[in-house]
Amino acid sequence: MDHRAPVEVREKVAVRKGDIKDCLLRIKAIPGLKEAVLLSTCNRTEFYAVMEDSVRPGAMEFFKLSGGDYEEISRYIYVHEGEKAVRHLFRVACGLESMVVGEDQILGQVKEAWERSKESQSSGKILNRLFLDAVTLGKKARSEVKISDVPLSVSYIAVRFIEEFFGSLKGKKVFVLGTGKTGRITIKNLIQKGVGEVFVTSRTWERALALKEEIPEVYLVPYEEKYRAMARCQIVISASGAPHYTVDREKFAQIYTGGGVAFLDLSVPRDIDPEIARLPNVQIFTLDDLKKTAEENQKKRLYLAKKIEEMVDSAVKDYLNWLKTLQVVPVIRKVSDFARAVCVEEFENLTRRLQNVDDKEKRQIKRAMERVCSKMTAVYLETVKYLAERQKFDPGLEFLFTGGDVDG
Residues tagged active-site: 42
- Residue 176: per-residue pLDDT: 94
377 in a known ligand binding site: no
Question: What pTM, to 2 d.p., does this model score?
Answer: 0.61
pLDDT band at 297 (very low <50, low <70, confident <90, very high): confident
The 8-class DSSP code of residue 63 comes to G
Per-residue pLDDT reduced to its tens digit, 325-337: 776 666 777 777 7
Question: Which residue in 330, 313, 315, 310 sits closest to 388, CA to CA?
Answer: 330
What is the pLDDT at residue 300?
Answer: 84
373 known ligand binder: no
Q: What is the mean pLDDT of residues 201-215?
A: 92
Main-chain phi, psi angles of 59, to 5 degrees:
-65, -25
Does 152 score more than 80 pLDDT? no
Mean pLDDT, rounded, for 103-122:
92
Identity of the amino acid at 58: G
343 is in an annotated binding site: no
Report the pLDDT averaged over residues 150-171: 84
- Report the chain's mean pLDDT, rounded to a whole number: 85
Mean pLDDT of 276-289: 91
Res. 97: pLDDT tops 60: yes
- Quickly state the pLDDT bin for 406 (edges 50, 70, 90): very low
Question: What is the average per-residue pLDDT within 160-173?
Answer: 91
**275 labeled binding residue:** no
The reply, when asked if residue 254 is annotated as ligand binding, is no
Cβ atoms of 70 and 63 within 8 Å: the answer is: yes
pLDDT digits (tens, 9 = 90+) for 15-68: 888 888 888 888 888 888 899 999 988 788 898 999 887 776 666 666 765 555
Is residue 393 scored above 90 in pLDDT?
no
> Nearest 5°: phi and psi at 136?
-60, -45
Whether 42 has a binding-site annotation, put simply, is yes
pLDDT at 397: 60
Mean pLDDT of 74-91: 93
What domains sit in the chain, N to C, each tagged with a CATH number?
Answer: 7-149 (3.30.460.30), 154-242+261-272 (3.40.50.720), 324-402 (no CATH)
